[in-house]
Structure 1
Amino acid sequence: MVNGFMGRVLRAVGMAVRAVHVGGIMAGYALLFGAAEARRLLGPRRAGHGARAGGLHDGDRWVKMLTRLGPSYIKIGQLVSTRRDLLPPAVTGPLSRLTDAAPPPSRRRVRQAVLAAYAGTRWPFREFTWEPVACGSIATVHEAVTLDGRRVAVKVRRPGIQWVMERDFALTLAMMRALGAVPKLRKMPFKVMHEQVGSAILRQLDFPAEAAALAELRTNLAGLGNVRIPEPLADLCTPEVVVMEYIIGLRRFAPGDLDAGTRRQVVQAVLAAVYEMLFIDGVVHCDLHPGNLYFDERAGLVMLDAGFVIRLPDEVRRSFADFFIHMAMGDGWTCAQIVIESAAHVADDCDVAGFRAGLTELVQEASGAKSGQFALAPFAGRLFDLQRRFGLFPAPEFAFPLLSLLVIEGMIKDFDSAVDFQAEAVPVLRRRNMLRDRTAQLHK
């Protein structure tokens, strides 16, 4: 009982220390951003010209703040960096450095972590490069050669990261509860949303699950032919380390010198893979930012880092696919019915008719948009606003498919601004319907 009491005291002290740390950093940078924004606005008047751009558009300062806050916040920066269609390059450019170039832990700490991971077993590497080839918010990645001569990539969990992220999770839960106490926000299921989304982020610390997800994605996407996912070496993986094949010749996922035809093929390949995950398999890579998506030497797609992979329940996968089909058809009434039936919470004073009318109008606008004019981010924003206004809140799992699309939308439009997200989904949706019908016949 004493140990339990002391454990609670220590957790409370740790929470307080982390809260003071996070709060202090945020308060300090709020002052810096405010002062810089004031100088930016007053600069042209006072200096006439040459005033330094900054304020809230100072991406380098955002990078510094998120880096100091830690891995949970770096992950937010990574996702935001992909939305170049919504935010200025002065912000997204610097934030993109967070995808695989976060400040690494010391070589000594990495070495200690790797040696501890294989303590009591034979050291499995002939060579090991302690300088990381990539450094993200959760882990560093190192090149190595196994005793039998295989060239591998070794992903090492950052020392101490679990302690930090668990406390960030608890802090954000406390903030969600506080928001839920605000009279105008009491209808919002903040706690449920936080548990679903926060738990998904914490699952990125589960390296055995990531190794299993790599293997599952390889199997599911093998039929596409042009998508590569590194093979995990299960016998060398540990709870702190994932060892996988090393894919050589990786190139950044950027338009570069590609001609228009090749860019279109790239877009079609990426969307085919994402729709395969969303509508067919239900195992979805939700973190396809530029640090996790590459070309190989044959210009095939390479997906890395299966830490943020969500397994959609069959019911959610079917609902999302049906929503997408009827959205493409302009059938807003059915889309509204799908959202209503899959809702996690419906307020007592929910205006179902008002919600259905609003979503019908939104879907008709989206289906009437010309190729390249449909934008998912504003559509999703208006959808969530309709749900909030009319008192109907979606199951948090329903947000994960949207997240996977939102993460890649900005990058995809860099390649092909005229891409039609709805049209590219049609072949996969048709195949999904054929598989569903075939399954139904077998069960008759």
Structure 2
Amino acid sequence: MTATHDVESASVAPKAPIRPPHLTGRLFSVAGTVGRHAAGAAARSLPGVGRGRPAESRWSRMVTDLGPTYVKGAQLLSTRKDLLPVKICTALGRLHDQVAPMTDAQLDLALELAYPSGRPTPFASFDRTPAASGSIACVYRATLHDGSTVAVKMRRPGIQAVMRADFAILSMGARWMQRIPAMRKVPAVRIVEQLGAALLRQLDLGQEAVSLDLLRTNLADMTFVRIPGPVPAACGEGALVMEFLEPLERFEPRDFKREPRRQIVRNVLQCVYRMLFIDGLVHCDMHPGNLYLDADGTLVLLDAGFVVQLDPEVRLLFAKFFMNLSLGRAEECAQNVLDSAEHIPPGCDLDGFRADIEKLVEESTGRTAGQFRLAPFATRLFDIQRRSGVAAAPEFVFPLMSLLVLEGMINDFDVNVDFQGEAIPTLLVALNRY
């Protein structure tokens, strides 16, 4: 049974006033950080000056200094080895779970906010050395009074104000961008608002506990997937307590033989397609810091902070488009794109638009993971829409993001997997429900 209750719609943004002084201060902070790193890079390029750290490490350091909003973007980019040099991807990949941990003072404050005076602490012991350190929170190992070992995700104090200010700045930039004649047809403001709403919900660890339970319910019949269960009685404000799963290995091919590698890829795709086309509850952050493997190849999915509930209509249109793409139905794909558009300008050359979409689909159908690249495909698709004035529905950002993050990792396991064909069984089930 699919569970979808109690999850906010992807289009609902959290409301929180931001004081102008704080917003201005954050703007100057971002500009100052970029300027400082740019000046350092320029100085190191002068003759006779030592270069110090490699360029990719300096980029990683700058992103870390900019804060969690920018780290999240870097985490997504780090999986795209087909778009960025391997050295840069490796450097950015360290940001998945190796961000500088909270200081002792910050951890003390986080614990005090989560378990204020008067509330007994639920922990018999608490290891202050983090098991993982992320941009929004750090994860620690602890023991409850009943002896069970748990993972405790502690939100960094003060992070809410920083991220809200960042997205306010990005929204202002998007509004200015839409004033440029060539960019007026791009719904930049709405895209930033929706992405901002989804990312800012990662601050709500109470909502993440709900999402963990829903994902566990939805995927309960998939025995090749493990998701930690929350421990509600031990949670607090800014503290999510859940099962401690071990031992875990990074999502890497390691010494798996050819057939186990293929099966792991199929399992990942089945899991993602189930979320996209049937449940509509989509984990959009399946990067190497959140996706692991057991010794036997069982998938372990952590961190349900970036989970969104797709609107049923969006889910149906995306499913139809993906099915038609997999089957090479170019005309139907073109119509699906038109049906999903939020704006079609008067006088639009619909015949030319359909012809361009059909050509793109015909060139992409039946490609394996080693041949089919979602990023170039999406770029061409959006370019066709932009040139014709057909505005894409921003809701498609979420399912595309989920697939884009996974694409680079899947290619490391099996470049010959039929990325599209593997979706057909799930698509048939999904489309038969409507």
Separation in structure 1 between the aligned mates of residue 96 and residue 415 of structure 2, nearest angstrom: 23
Q: Which residue of 2 aligns with 1:11?
A: 19
Given the alignment of the two structures, is residue 156 of structure 1 paired with residue 154 of structure 2, yes or no?
Answer: yes
Q: Structure 2 vs 1, CA of residues 206 and 267 (structure 1 numbering), >3 Å: closer, same or farther?
A: same
Given the alignment of the two structures, is residue 395 of structure 1 paired with residue 393 of structure 2, yes or no?
Answer: yes
- Post-superposition shift, 1:203? 1.0
Q: 1:313-335 CA distances to partner (integer Å, 9 max, x unpaired)?
A: 11111111100000111112211
Letter in 2 for 1:65: M
- The answer to whether the 8 Å contact 1:292/1:303 transfers is yes
Specify which of 267, 277, 285 is matched with residue 287 of structure 1. 285
- Post-superposition shift, 1:373? 1.2
Q: Which residue of 2 aligns with 1:357?
A: 355
Letter in 1 for 2:24: A
Q: Structure 2 vs 1, CA of residues 170 and 181 (structure 1 numbering), >3 Å: closer, same or farther?
A: same
Q: Which residue of 1 aligns with 2:343?
A: 345
- The answer to whether the 8 Å contact 2:368/2:417 transfers is no
Separation in structure 2 between the aligned mates of residue 354 and residue 238 of structure 1, nearest angstrom: 56
Given the alignment of the two structures, is residue 83 of structure 1 paired with residue 80 of structure 2, yes or no?
Answer: yes
Letter in 1 for 2:228: P
Separation in structure 2 between the aligned mates of residue 371 and residue 202 of structure 1, nearest angstrom: 32
Q: Structure 2 vs 1, CA of residues 362 and 136 (structure 1 numbering), >3 Å: closer, same or farther?
A: same
- Post-superposition shift, 1:434? 3.9
- The answer to whether the 8 Å contact 2:319/2:431 transfers is no
Given the alignment of the two structures, is residue 63 of structure 1 paired with residue 71 of structure 2, yes or no?
Answer: no
Separation in structure 2 between the aligned mates of residue 423 and residue 383 of structure 1, nearest angstrom: 20
Separation in structure 2 between the aligned mates of residue 371 and residue 20 of structure 1, nearest angstrom: 43
- Post-superposition shift, 1:299? 2.3
Letter in 1 for 2:25: V
- Post-superposition shift, 1:348? 4.2
Separation in structure 2 between the aligned mates of residue 349 and residue 139 of structure 1, nearest angstrom: 50
Separation in structure 2 between the aligned mates of residue 118 and residue 265 of structure 1, nearest angstrom: 44
Given the alignment of the two structures, is residue 98 of structure 1 paired with residue 95 of structure 2, yes or no?
Answer: yes
SS where residue 242 of structure 2 aligns?
A: strand
Separation in structure 2 between the aligned mates of residue 371 and residue 255 of structure 1, nearest angstrom: 16
- Post-superposition shift, 1:166? 0.5
- Post-superposition shift, 1:398? 1.1
Return 328-337 or 215-224, whichever deviates more. Answer: 328-337
Q: Which residue of 2 aligns with 1:3?
A: none
Q: Which residue of 2 aligns with 1:29?
A: 37
- Post-superposition shift, 1:142? 0.4
Identity, in percent, stands at 48
Structure 2 residues without counterparts, runs of 5 or longer: 1-15
Q: Structure 2 vs 1, CA of residues 195 and 251 (structure 1 numbering), >3 Å: closer, same or farther?
A: same
SS where residue 124 of structure 2 aligns?
A: strand
Separation in structure 1 between the aligned mates of residue 344 and residue 326 of structure 2, nearest angstrom: 26
SS where residue 306 of structure 1 aligns?
A: coil
- The answer to whether the 8 Å contact 1:187/1:347 transfers is no
- Post-superposition shift, 1:184? 2.1
Bigger share in helix: 1
- Post-superposition shift, 1:238? 2.6
Q: How does 1:124-139 map to 2 (within 5 A)?
A: 124-139=122-137
Letter in 2 for 1:218: R
Q: Structure 2 vs 1, CA of residues 144 and 217 (structure 1 numbering), >3 Å: closer, same or farther?
A: same
- The answer to whether the 8 Å contact 2:366/2:421 transfers is no
Q: 1:245-279 CA distances to partner (integer Å, 9 max, x unpaired)?
A: 00010111111111111111111111110001001
Q: How many residues align?
A: 417
Q: Which residue of 1 aligns with 2:10?
A: none
- Post-superposition shift, 1:418? 1.2
- Post-superposition shift, 1:86? 1.8
- Post-superposition shift, 1:233? 1.0
Separation in structure 1 between the aligned mates of residue 369 and residue 163 of structure 2, nearest angstrom: 41
Q: Which residue of 2 aligns with 1:202?
A: 200
- Post-superposition shift, 1:388? 1.2
Separation in structure 2 between the aligned mates of residue 300 and residue 224 of structure 1, nearest angstrom: 10
Separation in structure 1 between the aligned mates of residue 197 and residue 365 of structure 2, nearest angstrom: 34
- Post-superposition shift, 1:234? 1.6
Separation in structure 1 between the aligned mates of residue 345 and residue 43 of structure 2, nearest angstrom: 42
Q: 1:269-304 CA distances to partner (integer Å, 9 max, x unpaired)?
A: 111100010011000000000000011243210000
Q: Which residue of 1 aligns with 2:106?
A: 109
Separation in structure 2 between the aligned mates of residue 385 and residue 361 of structure 1, nearest angstrom: 13
Q: How does 1:291-306 map to 2 (within 5 A)?
A: 291-306=289-304
Q: Which residue of 1 aligns with 2:405?
A: 407
Q: 1:196-243 CA distances to partner (integer Å, 9 max, x unpaired)?
A: 111111111111111000000001111111100000112222331111
- The answer to whether the 8 Å contact 1:189/1:345 transfers is no
SS where residue 399 of structure 1 aligns?
A: helix
Separation in structure 2 between the aligned mates of residue 379 and residue 31 of structure 1, nearest angstrom: 37
Separation in structure 2 between the aligned mates of residue 34 and residue 340 of structure 1, nearest angstrom: 47
- The answer to whether the 8 Å contact 1:197/1:396 transfers is no
Structure 1 residues without counterparts, runs of 5 or longer: 1-6, 437-444
Separation in structure 2 between the aligned mates of residue 364 and residue 319 of structure 1, nearest angstrom: 19
Q: 1:96-115 CA distances to partner (integer Å, 9 max, x unpaired)?
A: 00001101120221122112
Letter in 2 for 1:75: K
Q: Which residue of 1 aligns with 2:313?
A: 315
Q: How does 1:178-193 map to 2 (within 5 A)?
A: 178-193=176-191
Q: 1:67-113 CA distances to partner (integer Å, 9 max, x unpaired)?
A: 11000000011110011122111100111000011011202211221
Q: 1:88-146 CA distances to partner (integer Å, 9 max, x unpaired)?
A: 11100111000011011202211221122111322111011111100011100000111
Q: How does 1:369-384 map to 2 (within 5 A)?
A: 369=367, 372-384=370-382
Q: Structure 2 vs 1, CA of residues 327 and 71 (structure 1 numbering), >3 Å: closer, same or farther?
A: same
Separation in structure 2 between the aligned mates of residue 198 and residue 350 of structure 1, nearest angstrom: 31
Letter in 2 for 1:64: R
Return 185-194 or 419-428, whichever deviates more. Answer: 185-194
Q: CA RMSD in A?
A: 2.2
Separation in structure 1 between the aligned mates of residue 72 and residue 56 of structure 2, nearest angstrom: 15
- Post-superposition shift, 1:63? 0.7
SS where residue 221 of structure 2 aligns?
A: helix
Q: Structure 2 vs 1, CA of residues 368 and 94 (structure 1 numbering), >3 Å: closer, same or farther?
A: same
- The answer to whether the 8 Å contact 1:374/1:420 transfers is no
